[in-house]
Chains A and B, each alone.
Chain A
Amino acid sequence: MEAAEMTSPMTTITDVNELKRIASQVRRDIVRMVHAVNSGHPGASLGCTDFFVTLYFNIMMHDAKHFKMDAKGEDAFFLSNGHISPVWYSTLAHSGYFPVAELNTFRKLNSRLQGHPATEEGLPGIRIASGSLGQGLSAACGMAEAKRLDKDESTVFVLHGDGELQEGQIWEAAMYAAHRKLDNIIATVDYNGRQIDGDVNDVMGLGDLKGKWAAFGWNVLEMDGHDIDAIIKTIEKAKAMRGSGKPTVILMRTEMGQGVDFMVGSHKWHGVAPNDEQLKTALLQLEETLGDYPEPKK
């Protein structure tokens, strides 16, 4: 595909401080969204906020105002660990995929913002349902195959939880991507070491995760998921590996609950919403930078 046919990013923000300001607002949205319905998954949503903001506002070539399901000529993102929908919804909204005000419908009846991402009501930015774990890498492989068939040079991104890697389908897809030399895939693992029942190492340890991916035939990179500068540089490095004939995975170290002191680093906030008092405490720690989404009309 000619470079001219590629979609231009709507907004490429290179100023790290500006990205941090967006991340602060996304974190506010996350805690407000889960608090409003007393359900949802704040832990890894907060942990992946810096990654999402960097991906959508700095890295990806995408056109938020003209969402294309087929992603022809633009980068595609799949969220395999669908339970961290709050961070995705907030990032999509602030990117321009749908009105920020719609965040106040999260997990409510008749909303496009389902508890886990879904396509049924046509929410722009979502290409496949996820929630039942382990399925996103396969879908990313299919999209990557189609892009190669169509000589479309854009990239397929996919995010996984580390606990999610306990699902066998992940490794079927990992084998497939390497065998098929799908070097247009960049997978990221949210390597926070926690899952619902406790530490990943206690529940079902992943062992030598770097070695596992390498043995499956992948390029393996590592990064600090809370250092926006490092995220930009690492993903650029991953993109430069196009042509290696190998897919690339980035093991991203994060802390569950990042940004809220009483949530950080504990699996207890995987899928629990803050109460009124806890919400107040959390919001004091997160600057309102872009304006909070409005409360729903009573």
Chain B
Amino acid sequence: MEITVSPEKKDTRSGFGQGLLELGASHPDVVALCADLTGSLKMNAFEKAYPERFFQVGIAEANMMGVAAGLATAGKIPFTGTFANFSTGRVYDQIRQSIAYSEKNVKICASHAGLTLGEDGATHQILEDIGMMKMLPNMTVVVPCDYNQTRLATLALAEHHGPAYLRFGRPSWPIFTPAESGFQIGKAQLIKSGKDVTIFATGHLVWKSYEAAKELAAQGIDAEVINIHTIKPLDIEAVLDSVSKTRCVVTAEEHQRNGGLGDSIAQVLALNSPLPMQMVAVNDSFGESGTPAQLMTKYGIDTADVVAAVVRVLKRKK
């Protein structure tokens, strides 16, 4: 695809807020719930436009998941909003029993995921949520990479029947995917084609991987970058197609190595086509306070880390 980088940056959470507002008009059955973070989740516009379909639940996330399950039982399409930490770990059993096992059409929308939450520190910087959510049967897991894609993913989830987890973040981030096309749940997105190595990235790391690919090109390395915005169900065909050409793999994500995108890709490779692989991810540690940029550098998920991983994996490539 042709990458056009927008002159302005925006946070992915605003893409969610915009998508939700549009769903309010197009889908009368869409309702929204928030646990005292309406501003942070950018749900204010929906609340103002559709107050009767907005449910403020207070600081009570377990109840929010159950209320959402009840609304879904009655035929509504609930979108819950809170930080990723409180959207998953805090309410895992509620999601497991009342939503996933019960097959409720609830969209769990989670902001401030990962290290790029920044200064709030490790209590809020969840890096395990993708793993928790992808382990649940019936659960779809979507991690869009920029504002445009988060908006499109939000719109798409209203049309997708079943439990889903939508993960996005806080920082202002480059906008480089199309505003109105190119997103389909479960369909990997080619960002840059290449022949030497495939970088599978998700969320904020898609941009970092694209930057890394440009640096690698200057060194004469032709990297393919593929955006795995849907962690589950994984586009196995796209993964195998790409690696059949490049024969080595790097994964990149703002998540623990355990349980993240890298795990999912490694499983596909191990079962189908074992190949050299490197993972760019947080390696079994909690985060800390700092700016998003500082944290990405310290915890090894920056552009330079993707470049270094590619160099390493190419040395292992036969």
Contacts and interface: CB of A to CB of B under 8 A. Distances in A.
Interface of A: 69-72, 76, 78, 118-120, 127-132, 134-147, 149-150, 168-169, 172-173, 175-176, 179-180
A128 B102 contact: yes
Of B65, B94, B98, the most chain A CB neighbours within 10 A belong to B98
B93 A127 contact: no
A168 B75 contact: no
B167 interface: no
Interface stretch (B52-60, B177-185, B294-302): B52-60
Contacts of B97: 129-132, 135
Given A140-B70, A175-B58, 4 more contacts: A120-B101, A128-B69, A142-B72, A173-B63
Nearest to A142: B70
Contacts of A136: 66
B93 A132 contact: yes
B60 A176 contact: yes
Nearest to A170: B63
Contacts of B63: 138, 141, 169, 172-173, 176
A176 B57 contact: yes
Interface residues of B, number: 32
B53 A149 contact: yes
Interface of B: 31, 52-53, 55, 57-58, 60, 62-76, 78, 93-94, 96-98, 101-104
Contacts of B53: 149
Given A145-B71, A176-B58, A169 B98 contact: no
Contacts of B65: 138
Nearest first, the 9 A-B pairs at minimum CB distance are: A142-B70, A138-B66, A146-B74, A172-B63, A172-B60, A139-B70, A142-B71, A142-B67, A70-B75
A135 B73 contact: no
B51 to A, nearest CB: 12
30 contacts: A70-B74, A119-B102, A128-B69, A128-B70, A128-B98, A128-B102, A128-B104, A129-B97, A129-B98, A132-B93, A134-B62, A135-B66, A137-B66, A138-B63, A138-B66, A140-B70, A142-B66, A143-B70, A146-B71, A146-B76, A147-B74, A149-B76, A150-B74, A168-B62, A169-B62, A169-B63, A172-B62, A173-B63, A175-B58, A179-B58
